[in-house]
Structure 1
Amino acid sequence: MNLLRSVLHTLFMAVTVVPWAIAVLVTAPFLNSMQIYWLCAGWLKLAVSSGKLMLGIRNEVIGFENLPVGSTAPAILLLKHQSTWETFCMPTLMPHPLAYVFKKELLYVPFFGWAMGRMDMIHIDRSKRAQAFSKVVEQGQRLLNQGTWVIMFPEGTRIPRGQKGTYKSGGTRLACETGAPVIPIAVTSAKCWPRKAFIKKPGTVEFSIGKPIPSQGREPDELMREVEAWIEAEMRRLDPEAYPAA
C-alpha cells in the first residue's frame, strides 16, 4: 500500500508541476516578486496537501509563538534537514515569505528549477566561496529589510534519521553580518519520508521552532554551536527511537 501511495503522489507532483511552472514562466514578466512567490507557494501547498491525502503524512508545529512578530521583523531560519518534505512545507507553514539559499545547479532542473529561477531567492556558485558569501550577505540583507526571512540548512544536505551532519557556520555568519536573530528548527521528516527513499510512510512530522537567538555581538562559530546543541537535543526529544541511548 505504501508503494502504491508513493507512486501516485510522485506522479501527481510530476503532472502538476509542469503546467504550474509554465504558468509561472508566462506570467512572471507581469508580476512583482511577492506575487511570483505566492504563485509558486501555491504548488507547494498542493504538494503538501496531496502528501497528507495520498501518503498520510501530517504536520505538527510546536513553538509558533517563538517566531518574530511584525511585517518586517527579520529572521534567519536554520533547520534540520532530513528530506524533501520540509523544503515543500516551510513556505506553507511560515507567516512570512521565505528565501532559500541554494546551489545554482538546481535552476537547471526542468520546470521546477526554471520556475524557481523566477523567484527572488539566493542561488550561489559553490566553486566561488568568497564571492558566494558576499552575494549571500548582500541579497540576504535586502530580503530581510523587505520582510522576507532567509532559510538555510546548516548541515548542507539531507541527513539520515538518527544521524548528525557537520554544522557549517554560513547561516550564523549571515546573522552576525546583518544583525538578524537566528531561529533554530528541529524537523522529524525522516520518520515518514526518509532520505533518498522512494517509498514514504504515513505518520506525523514534527516541526519544533526554538526561541530566537540574538546574533549581535556574537561570533559565528560560537553561535552555530548553540544552534547545533539546541537542534540536536530537540531531535532526541522528538524522536528518541532514532538515537541510541547515551
Structure 2
Amino acid sequence: MDFLRQLPTHVYITGSLAFLVWFRNYGGYRYRCLMAILSLILMATFGVIASLILPIFGQAGLINYLVARGYHYIGGFFTGLRTTIIGQENILQSPAVYVCNHQTSLDIMVMGSMYPKNTSVVAKKELKYYPFLGWFMTLSNAIFLDRKNRTNALKEARQAAEDIHKKKISVWLFPEGTRGHSSKVDLLPFKKGAFHMAVQARVPIVPVVIANYNDIYSTKAKRFLPGNVNIKVLPPVVTNDIDEDSASIEKLSIRVRESMLTALREISPTTKEE
C-alpha cells in the first residue's frame, strides 16, 4: 500500500484509463452508463473551453459540431454504440430547423454521428442549470425555451427565428418536448415551437428519425448492450408557402409527425414491450 501511495498522479490516471479501455469489452450496464456519463462530462468541459476560444477565430459554428461528434466517437468507443445514417444527402448546408424524436439521454450520443455544422441546440430552460452540460450550452449560445409558459415559448421561438437569419445558423429541436422512455415504436404529440420557428424564419424543416433502440438500451430492464442504431434524415419540408396562423402550424406539425412516425416504424427493429 505504501508503494501505491508513492506512485505519481499521472500513473494512476494512465492506469485507470488503460483499465477502462481494456474493460470495455467486458463491462455491462453500469460500466456503459458510467462511460456514457464520463464521456458527456468530458465533451461538455471541452465545449466550455471551445466556446471561449473558437469565436475568437470566427469558428463559433464548429462548437456544437465538435462536441457532438466527439461525444459520439468517444462515447461510442467505450459503449460499443454505432450508427447507420440513411438519407445523409438531406442534411442542408444552409439554415434549417432540424426536428428529431427523443427517446433517452443517449440520443445526444447517437445524433452526434450526423449533427450538422453551424447548428444551435434548442432545449428546455431547466437544462440551463445543469452542471457541465448547462454551462456548455449557455456559452455555446443554445436557445432555451420556457415550455411551461406558452406566451414566453412563442416569444422565444420568434427571437430564435430572427437569430436564424441574423447569424445564418440552423437549430435542432426535439418537438416531443420530453423523452419517450418506451419500448413502443411511437412518438409523443409534437409541441409547436419548432414549426412556428421554421415558418417565421422561412427556412426548411429537416426531420431526423432515430430508430427505437430499446433492444440496446433500457433503464427499466437495466440493459445497455453494444449495437447499431439506424438514423434516417428525411427530405426537407419547405415552409415558404405556409401561413403563420395556428391552424396552418398545426397542420404542418401533424404532417411532419406522420412522416417521422412512418420512418420510425420502417427503420426500428421489432421489439416487445416490457
- TM-score under structure 1 length normalisation: 0.82
Identity of aligned residues (%): 22
Which amino acid in the other structure matches residue 237 of structure 2? I
Structure-2 residue corresponding to 1:236: 265
**Distance across 2 between alignment mates of 1:22 and 1:172:** 30
1:205 to 215, 229, 234: 229
Aligned to 1:44: 68
Cα RMSD for the two superposed structures: 2.9
Q: Of the candidates 8, 29, 37, which is equivalent to residue 3 of structure 1?
A: 29
Unaligned stretches of 5+ residues in structure 2: 1-26, 243-247
**Whose RCO is larger (CA < 8 A, sep 6+)?**
1
1:85–1:189 CA contact under 8 A, matched in 2 = no
Cα distance in 2, alignment partners of residues 18 and 146 from structure 1? 23
What count of residue pairs does the alignment treat as equivalent?
A: 239
The aligned counterpart of 2:249 is: 220
Which position in structure 1 is the counterpart of 2:16? none
What's the counterpart of residue 151 of structure 1?
172
Q: Deviations over 1:79-114 (max 9, x none)?
A: 111122332443552342221211222111112211
Alpha carbons 2:82, 2:227 under 8 Å: kept: yes
Residue 45 of structure 1 aligns with an amino acid whose one-letter code is R
Which residue among 175, 194, 199 is the counterpart of 1:176? 199
Query: Which moved further from structure 2: 219-228 or 15-24?
Result: 15-24
Amino acid at match of 2:238: P
Residue type matched to 2:197 in 1?
A: L
Q: Is the 8 A contact 1:83 1:190 kept in 2?
A: no
Alignment deviations for residues 31-73 of structure 1 (CA, whole Å, 9 cap, x no partner): 35964553454443332212322211111111111223x4xx2
Corresponding residue SS for 2:198: helix
- Residue 232 (structure 1) shift: 0.6
Shift of 1:119: 1.1
Contact in 2 for aligned 1:33/1:120 (Cα 8 Å): no
Q: Is the 2:230–2:268 Cα contact (8 Å) retained in structure 1?
A: no
Which residue is equivalent to 2:144? 123
Contact preservation (8 Å) 2:212, 2:264? no
2-structure distance, mates of 1:127, 1:62: 35
Q: Secondary structure at the match of 1:123?
A: strand
Q: Which runs of 5+ in 1 are unaligned?
A: none
CA contact (8 A) 1:45 1:89 kept: no
SS of corresponding position for 2:78: helix
Select between 54-63 and 145-154 the one with higher mean Cα deviation.
145-154
Q: Larger radius of gyration, structure 1 or 2?
A: 2
Moved more, 56-65 or 158-167: 158-167
CA contact (8 A) 2:97 2:172 kept: yes
Aligned-residue offset at 1:177: 1.4
Instruction: For residue 144 of structure 1, report the CA deviation from its aligned partner.
Output: 4.3
Conserved in 1, the CA contact under 8 Å of 2:128 and 2:135?
yes
| Bigger Cα displacement from structure 2, 199-208 vs 85-94 | 85-94
Find the residue that maps to 2:194 and give its secondary structure: helix
**CA contact 1:181–1:213 (8 Å) conserved in 2:** yes
Task: Tell me whether 28-37 or 182-191 shows the greater mean CA deviation.
Answer: 28-37
Q: Give, as a single letter, the amino acid of the residue that structure 2 aligns with 1:182.
A: I
Structure 1 segment 122-141 matched on structure 2, within 5 A? 122-141=143-162
Change beyond 3 A, Cα 1:34–1:242:
farther
Secondary structure of the residue aligned to 1:133 is helix
**Secondary structure in 1 matching 2:224:** coil
Deviations 1:198-222 (A, max 9, x none): 6422111111011111112231111
Letter in 2 for 1:136: A
Is the alpha carbon distance of 1:220 and 1:83 closer, same or farther for their aligned partners in structure 2, counting shifts above 3 Å? same
Which residue of structure 1 lines up, in the alignment, with residue 188 of structure 2?
A: 165
Are positions 1:111 and 2:139 aligned together?
no
